[in-house]
A and B are shown apart, each in its own frame.
Chain A
Amino acid sequence: MTATDSLVFPDEIVTQALVRYLDIPGLPGEFALITLDNGRDHTRPSTLGPAALSSLAAALDEIEAHVPRVTAIGVTGKTLRLCRRCRHQGDGADP
């Protein structure tokens, strides 16, 4: 997340793009798995605000720079919903 992104929506609940490198049985090399997670439970689905997109871009950059090169990349979300269109910001009720 850059300073500019956080200025777009100062109270954005930021969805982080978490990267893990996994060994999948039957798949040669490493598999990069990105989990999009805003750190809240299922009642507050992840959203893709400016800072979240920044985090996803940084994750993809990290994977691209990873040595050795990964065999595949997957993107998933937290439980129940990948992500959802709803308020990016604040702790108020979901409109």
Chain B
Amino acid sequence: MPGYSIDRMCAGAMTAVTTLAGGIAFGAYDVAIAGGVEHMGHHPMGEGANPNPRFVAEKLVDISALSMGATAENLHDRFPNLTRERADAFAVASQAKLAKAYADGKIQPDLVPVATRSTALGWGLATKDEPPRPGSTVETLAGLRTPFRPHGRITAGNAAGLTDGATACLLAASDVAVELGLPSRMRLVGYGFAGVDPEVMGVGPIPSTEKALRATGLTIDDIGLFELNEAFAVQVLAFLDHFGVADDDPRVNQYGGAIAVGHPLASSGVRLMIQLARQFVDHPEVRYGLTAMCVGLGQGGSVIWENPQYSGARS
């Protein structure tokens, strides 16, 4: 059983999926496990980042590109219509949607309990996500500091928290899944990755989604459910504005997102997919769904999925 690790910062798990899916499509594998793990307490962010020295010495990127919070402030600059008020409102909705998804039992079936240990508290068991703050309101968020810039717009409330996480999923060739009797929750239709200016890395999912749509011959109107990673509210809003989707469109992030649940970088891609798969079950009228995320230092990744439960007409 061969294995390997890959690194694409925020899109680690997503890239594990697309890379292995490519291998399956090529006939190299029948069945593969793709996933990601991140301990954000150990991941150098901002001041602690230690990039390729050429980035700085040769001014390959703007210095703000190394601090994700600063890149999100840059996005607010670039799109003045994306106000802090809109970002905070989106963040509050994310918290509320995740709380509802937990109350409806949509999240728990896909969680694996993990033992935790603390010298001070003894052994524990993590059975649910710890970061959510379900009581958040626009009023409580409005009072938060903007650590990345004086009078800035990015706060702990409208950005994904630093949390630990791990995800995994099983990929199989269609004929192998049938042969082994594996229930299929989604079919990968196509994907795309794109590079963008590192100092506004948050726009990455826009060109990567356009690329994935081109590759699959679909348009944004074909997408019935969106799972957009919420590294920052502003970065999701930039995507929604570009494609003409409302901030509170019910197709978008039905279970909330990283603002509520956290963004352990390399694990988040598969979390988006797991949540989309569960939403597909509840929405047999939807044929296609999109998972997309921005990637630190200037990339976007997008994967388009087909709903096996789709009950409508096929062209």
Contact = CB atoms under 8 A, between A and B. Distances in A.
A23 B125 CA distance: 8
Contacts, number: 34
Given A25-B108, A25-B113, A18 B125 contact: no
Nearest to B123: A35
Contacts of B127: 22-25
Interface residues of B, number: 12
Nearest to B126: A22
A53 interface: no
Given A25-B108, A25-B127, A20 B117 contact: no
A24 B115 CA distance: 11
A20 B123 contact: yes
Contacts of B50: none
B124 interface: yes
Contacts of A89: none
B108 A20 contact: no
26 contacts: A18-B120, A18-B121, A19-B122, A20-B123, A20-B124, A22-B124, A22-B127, A23-B125, A23-B127, A23-B128, A24-B113, A24-B125, A24-B127, A25-B113, A33-B122, A33-B123, A33-B124, A33-B125, A35-B121, A35-B122, A35-B123, A37-B122, A39-B119, A76-B123, A78-B117, A79-B117
Given A23-B125, A24-B125, A79-B117, 6 more contacts: A20-B122, A22-B127, A24-B113, A24-B127, A35-B123, A78-B117
